[in-house]
Structure 1
């Protein structure tokens, strides 16, 4: 395996359309790093640049100790798993697994040994004689992974490999990929638009927006201390609630919002605010799990109106309206509130995130 180093990588298409701008980071040897962001953010372009399928406008790309900017894809010692399975329908599973090795001139015995090895790792032993039409979606995806695995590459590149699977299969395949990574100790770069996949699979995550890196960190560090409002609202399901208003010190710290909103009492949240923040317009971020029901109203920071209640078994999502702002509270199963009534909510200490209201919504610091 090998590390991958990107130094100020940039991709510009005709008419000065920037696909990736100033991408700089390192994928450690044996690390599973996830590139995540909305459609069009540049994550697949960046992966294809690593693979050699997109040319690099400027910057330096290293795989191991080699600069590979101008090295053809076949000579980079990488293996790529695409969104489509791209299996040969007339070939058996065994033939699909071994085809790339056959093209590279490996003898039959070596191909057979590598195929058996990959099949054992991915639990495909009983399926080797089948053709793709006789496989489920999850089995086809495992064959696509196996086709990369047999090559023993330095780096695995996975471009949204689970997007064609239903929710249950996606969950199962996430576990398969994580298990495979632990077993192989392989260097993997994984692209997804699904933040749940990113959070559950990645040892570190690169969050992209409009071709630029927003933040790089471990999943929980990103969740607990996002660098800006985009990262805060992109990661998490449901996403972070945002209230906009002005910070004021009056009988405790408050967020005074516009319209018909009632001020939000931030005293209980233990927010450490520099005096320079007072009077400033800010965006206040609160995770759904931190909006805690206070049925008796004691210690409540706000009392929004219940709009929709979504019980999902082990938890309840309560959709609320606080003035002009929509909120979601994640609550334990209990007596469900009734749409139209108010629901007093408290804020535990250390749960509030404060961001600049304008521009990129960067985190404010004391």
Structure 2
């Protein structure tokens, strides 16, 4: 396996559109790094630059210490798994798996050996004689993965490989990819717009927006300490709630909004220097909980109740803004009810209302 290093990597198209702006980070040998962000943010473009399918406008790309900016894709020793399976319909699973090796002139015995090994790893041994049309979606995706595995490349590049699967298969294949990575210890770069995939698969995550890196960290660090409003709102399902107002210090901290003041208690993250300035206070849905009226910080109107079995999402309206609370299943309010709520001061997040950047702690 190999490390991958990006140093000020940039991609500008002839029309002047900047798809990737100054991307710098390193993927350690054997690491599973996830690139996540909304559609059109530049993550797939960056993956294609690593693969050699997109020319690099500026910066340096190194694989295992070797600068590969001008190296042809086939000489980079990387394998890419695309969103579309792109299997050859007239070939069997075994022929699809071994095609790349045969194309490179590998001996027949070597091809057969590698195909058997990969089929065993992906539990495809009993499907080697089948053609793609006879396979399920999950099996086809495993064949696409196997076609990359059989080459034993330095780096695996996966471009939204699960987006064509139904919800149940996506969950199953997510687990399969995680197990495969643990078993192989392979260097993998995985692109997705699905933040659940990113959080569950990535050892570290690179969050993209509009061609720029917003934050790089482990999944839980991103969740607990988002660097800005974009990351805070993008990672988490349901997303973080935001309350905008002026921060005041009067006995305790409070947030002044157009419809009144919210008592914030004594949050450790409250930035004393920001008293009197406009901020955005973030609170995760699981940190909003019903409370007796005497202990409530705010009262919100229930709009929609979404039971999903082991938990319930309450879609609320407060101060003209939507809020979401995540609650355990129990006796629930009805749409139209007013619900008193509180939150733990130590779980609040503070952001600059102008720049969106995190402030405090």
**Common fold: TM-score over 0.5:** yes
Q: Which residue of 1 aligns with 2:2?
A: 2
Check whether the contact 2:269–2:349 (CA below 8 A) recurs between aligned residues. no
User: Does the 8 Å CA contact 1:203/1:218 hold for their aligned counterparts?
Assistant: yes
Verify the 8 A CA contact 1:4 1:62 in the aligned structure 2.
yes
Residues 1:286 and 2:290 are matched in the alignment: no
Give the C-alpha shift of residue 271 in structure 1: 4.1
Q: Are the aligned partners of 1:35 and 1:207 in contact in 2 as well (CA < 8 Å)?
A: yes
Given that 1:156 and 1:186 are in contact with CA atoms closer than 8 Å, whether structure 2 keeps it comes out as: yes
Shift of 1:265: 1.4
- Describe the SS at the equivalent of 1:314: coil
Asked if the contact 1:263/1:302 (under 8 Å) is kept, the reply is no
Give the C-alpha shift of residue 300 in structure 1. 1.6
Query: After superposition, where does 1:59-98 map in structure 2 within 5 Å?
Result: 59-98=59-98
SS in 1 for 2:295: coil
Contact 2:2 2:29 in 1 (8 A): yes
Matched residues in 2 for 1:67 and 1:104: separation? 23
Q: Which runs of 4+ in 1 moved over 6 A?
A: none
- Distance (whole Å) between structure 2 residues aligned to residue 339 and residue 262 of structure 1: 24
CA distance in 2, matches of 1:224, 1:118: 38
What is the aligned partner in structure 1 of residue 147 from structure 2?
147
What corresponds to 2:220 in structure 1?
A: 220
Structure 1 Cα separation of the partners of residues 87 and 346 of structure 2: 50
TM-score by length of 1: 0.97
Does structure 1 residue 172 correspond to structure 2 residue 210? no
CA distance in 2, matches of 1:278, 1:286: 19
Given the alignment of the two structures, is residue 209 of structure 1 paired with residue 209 of structure 2, yes or no?
yes
Q: Is 1:301 matched with 2:297?
A: yes
Deviation at 1:251, TM superposition (A): 4.9
- 1:263 CA drift (Å): 2.1
Q: Structure 2 length normalisation: TM-score?
A: 0.98
Matches within 5 A, 1:107-256: 107-256=107-256
- Distance in 1 (alpha carbons) for counterparts of 2:360 and 2:287: 20
> Distance between the aligned counterparts of 2:294 and 2:218, measured in 1?
36
Tell me the equivalent position of 1:362.
357
Q: 1:309-324 maps to which residues of 2 (within 5 A)? A: 309-324=305-320
**CA displacement at 1:190 relative to structure 2:** 0.2
Q: Secondary structure at the match of 1:129?
A: coil
8 Å contact kept, 1:355–1:364 = yes
CA contact (8 A) 1:42 1:209 kept: yes
- 8 Å contact 2:269–2:350 — kept in the other structure? no
Q: Secondary structure at the match of 2:216?
A: strand
Q: In structure 1, what is the equivalent of residue 30 of structure 2?
A: 30
Residues 81-122 of structure 1 deviation map (CA, whole Å, 9 limit, x = unaligned): 000000000000000000000000011110000000000000
> Residue deviations 1:104-144, cap 9 Å, x none?
00111100000000000000001100000000110000000
Deviation at 1:16, TM superposition (A): 1.4
SS in structure 1 at match of 2:298: coil
Determine whether 1:353 maps to 2:349.
yes
* Equivalent position of 1:265 in the other structure: 263
Q: Is the 8 A contact 1:262 1:302 kept in 2?
A: no
Aligned partners of 2:269 and 2:346 also within 8 Å: no
In the TM superposition, residue 343 of structure 1 has moved relative to its aligned partner by 1.0
SS at match of 1:157: strand
Residues 154-185 of structure 1 deviation map (CA, whole Å, 9 limit, x = unaligned): 00000000000011000000000000000000
Calculate the aligned-residue CA RMSD, in Å: 1.0
Relative to its length, the structure with more strand (as a share) is 2
Q: CA deviation at 1:365?
A: 1.9
Offset from partner CA, 1:51-70 (integer Å, 9 cap, x none): 00000001000000210000
Q: SS in structure 1 opposite 2:85? A: coil
Q: Name the count of aligned residue pairs.
A: 361
Q: Can you give the 5+ residue segments of structure 1 that lack an aligned partner in the other structure?
A: none
Unaligned ranges ≥5, structure 2:
none
Q: CA deviation at 1:272?
A: 4.2
The answer (yes or no) to whether the contact 2:296–2:342 under 8 Å persists in 1 is yes
